[in-house]
Amino acid sequence: MFSKNLSKEWFSNIRGDLLAGTVVALALIPEAIAFSIIAGVDPKVGLYASFCIAVVTAFFGGRPGMISAATGAMALLMVTLVKQHGLHYLLVATLLTGVFQIIAGLIRIGDVMRFVSKSVMTGFVNALAILIFMAQLPEFTGAGLPMYAMVAGSLAIIYLLPRLTRAVPSPLVAIIVMTVIAIVFNLEVRRVGDLGALPDALPIFLWPQVPWTLETLWIVLPYSAGLAAVGLLESLMTAQIVDEMTDTPSDKNRECGGQGIANIVAGLFGGMAGCAMIGQSVINVKSGGRGRLSTLVAGVFLLILLVVLGPWVKQIPMPALVAVMIMVSIGTFSWASFKNFRRHPSSSSIVMVATVLVVVFTHNLAIGVGVGVLLSALFFARKVSQVLRVTSTAEPQGRTYTVTGQLFFASADAFVRQFDFKEVVAKVCIDVTHAHFWDLTAVASLDKVVLKFRREGAEVTVLGLNEASATLVDRLGVHDKEDALEKLLAH
């Protein structure tokens, strides 16, 4: 079984993985440099991190075909630490980030992905597509006609070539063709080499030169916690998207541990913390990458490009890479979400739009997804609370109330309002056979109903509690205990 899975994950799509990994490696370079600049460190810190993280997650990650490297979301969280304490404290924070993520994998934090609704996922995808597109706009500032012409030409190759042949990924063809044109005609466009100096040597082991004291721990701890949370969130969300694109499952808890191991290795070789990249993962999948080999090739070929082919890589025109990222943006955005405004419930649309707006305006994925999950939970609680129904039937000696639905904090008040406490009856029977009590608020509402009826002189019987509800009521309820009224007021 192990050998079968090994063969499937590594060697079932060799040609496609090799070509896709090559495209991804080319697209990783400008992004890794840009993210290094955002974090305030040398470009080689982001490039070495991208190499280490891609190679390690190829072996230890839980989602074959997903690309992990240095990312903008993580870089934004490092700025203050680097500015105040320097690179070596960033390396310590990266190591601790990895430890946190390994622990998250061991306690199966990946399982929480089932609480992320489809609306939040759509909002996350759309927000990232918008951010990817917005990140390309500065390249057009002050650009001349060659820039626009090369972007248009690259997009034409990317979208038209697949109609003729799919033997080679069209983004790779676009990059090669535009690089040749830029060199032959000596076009005045920005090149990869203009972004910063590329490293020309292999990464070496670098133990952080900091005092290993509690003071250092307290300095890096908040940054590491934030990096670990954002990294896992973006990685798990990206894994979910790749799952849907490829119609294959992934191991989310293994992915948590794999990200942690990758960040520890990156920190030990002079790299910054990273996580999964939705843009590069989409490039990989759309270019034919499916297995772990594509991720490994992306990391290894990235280093080969830097160390061996550096002079040629510097000549790659930015318009070609901008066109590739525009393709990613267009392909990532869920265009069906516009049609779904009419078909889907308004609550789902509100969750999706809120997620998009928060992510786009804060550039913080964790906050955006957190807001989306919170809204989803609130809308769900509201819907479930409206399902509660209480019917009453007159009996010879009193009245029977039949309760159907879920009783919890959101439905407790509505439950109490369903009873007529002014009716003079000798006996009241509350049948909860088709109801379930979920929390303290629900139990307190039952206490309130029972005690109100007793105060009016009625004899009250509660029937049909299921085992879980009965256990909760026995532990938390007060209506069947001495001094019940005083205990209810003390709740």
CA distance 204 to 269: 6
Note the pLDDT tens digit of each residue in 110-120: 887 777 788 88
d(CA 126, CA 133): 11
Distance between CA atoms of residues 47 and 53, nearest Å: 10
What would the pLDDT profile of 207-265 be if each residue is shown by its tens digit? 999 998 999 999 999 999 889 988 888 898 889 889 988 889 889 899 999 999 999 99
pLDDT band at 6; cut points 50, 70, 90: confident
- In the chain, count H helices and then E strands: 21, 6
Per-residue pLDDT, 51: 94
| Beta carbons of 452 and 484 less than 8 angstroms apart | no
Q: Which of 226, 229, 255 is CA-nearest to residue 242?
A: 255
What mean pLDDT, rounded, does the chain reach?
Answer: 86
pLDDT of 485: 54
Residue 486, pLDDT score: 55
Instruction: State how far Cα 275 lies from the chain centre.
Output: 10
Q: Is the distance from CB of 48 to CB of 203 less than 8 angstroms?
A: yes
This prediction's pTM: 0.74
Whether residue 294 is predicted with pLDDT greater than 70 in this model: the reply is: yes
Q: What angle do CA 384, 389, 391 make, to 5 degrees?
A: 175
Buried b (16+ CB within 10 A) or exposed e, 457-472: ebebebeebeeebeeb
pLDDT-based confidence at residue 157 (cuts at 50, 70, 90)? very high
| Tokens standing for residue 453 | 């009826």
